Amino acid sequence: MTDVTVLGLGLMGQALAKALVTGGLGVTVWNRTPGRAADLNDVNESATAASAAAASDLVVVCVLDYAVVTEILDKVDVSGRTIVNLTNGTPRQARETAARVEKAGGVYVDGGIMAIPPMIGQPAATVLYSGDADAYDRHATTLSLLGRSRFLGTDPGEAALVDLALLSAMYGMFGGVWHAFALTAKANLPRQEFAGMLVEWLTATHAMVSRPPDAEVVASAEMQLAVYPNLFDASRDEGVRLDFVRPMYEMMKEEVATGRPIAELLRNADEQT
Ligand SMILES: NC(=O)c1ccc[n+]([C@@H]2O[C@H](COP(=O)([O-])OP(=O)(O)OC[C@H]3O[C@@H](n4cnc5c(N)ncnc54)[C@H](OP(=O)(O)O)[C@@H]3O)[C@@H](O)[C@H]2O)c1
């Protein structure tokens, strides 16, 4: 028996296995395509997912998506095992997988990794968890080797929900960042200098994210709406597409027309025209 098994040795699975080995644990690994453990010293590579899962009480799964998770777990005897699934998915997929594992006699913790592989094992990496609290507590020390752990409660769907919410914020931010780089592509400012300004500006905007919804208005929706035609005109003059900025403008117009904040408008998909 080893301390922990990792199923899936893609870019993230390899980073997880490496952090666990570095933490001094005995690690068994399996990957569909053999040979991915070549760069990992001191791991036991199993020929099948079933034999790999049989080697440890704690089984960490990190593969492409939940269809693959299901395909793998169908071939594994999960009874008596704690399955910690760090594959990205939806809350519904997490809850269904939890039910399937529990029906088969295992316990289930879902997780969301808020990091890229080089960050794994570093304090800047956060891993969200939810699901079976006793299993999480039992394995918390091992899981802490992957990064900063945050347990969000016993609903197995909660970690996936918060993971997707944080990713949506990241992708929205990147949309703005890519637009900003395109807009300044021909400016005199060197790209790296502008990148530094972007980081400072985005850091400064953290204060706006933390403001409660009922805080005093210091930048009216009407004022912000007036900025957008300028952003559109300048973008057209620079030959930059409007794909990322247009949807925000549409939401801002609706906010001004209805007097309802964007966060509230977004919560009513049924009202969408
Ligand atoms: N990389 C990141 O920056 C990052 C960050 C946060 C979260 N994540 C999440 O971590 C998970 C894994 O990401 P990754 O970066 O490791 O992806 P990846 O490098 O593309 O690896 C995908 C893994 O899934 C396996 N796989 C795909 N189809 C399979 C199948 N039909 N049967 C068995 N195994 C199959 C691959 O096996 P083969 O080697 O045989 O193809 C490989 O181990 C994803 O859910 C991702 O969203 C990744």
Q: Residue 145 and residue 22: Cα distance in Å, rounded?
A: 9
Same domain, 94 and 123: yes
Q: Residue 167 and residue 170: Cα distance in Å, rounded?
A: 5
Same domain, 104 and 167: no
> What pLDDT sits at residue 217?
83
Rounded to the nearest angstrom, the distance between the alpha carbon of 70 and the centre of ligand 1 is: 14
Q: What are phi and psi of 34, to 5 degrees?
A: -65, 165
pLDDT digits (tens, 9 = 90+) for 73-107: 999 999 999 999 999 999 999 999 999 999 999 99
Atom of ligand 1 nearest to the CA of 112: 7
Atom of ligand 1 nearest to the CA of 13: 16
Same domain, 144 and 20: yes
What is the domain-level CATH number for residue 240? 1.10.1040.10
Last residue of a domain, one of 100, 120, 154: 154
pTM over 0.95: no
Q: Per-residue pLDDT for 273 more than 60?
A: no
- Report the domain count for the chain: 2
Last residue of a domain, one of 96, 120, 154: 154
pLDDT digits (tens, 9 = 90+) for 147-200: 999 999 999 999 999 999 999 999 999 999 999 999 999 999 999 999 999 999
Same domain, 12 and 144: yes
The β-bridge relationship of strands 43-45 and 58-61 is unpaired
pLDDT digits (tens, 9 = 90+) for 12-61: 999 999 999 999 999 999 999 999 998 898 999 999 999 999 999 999 99
Boundaries of domain holding 226:
163-271
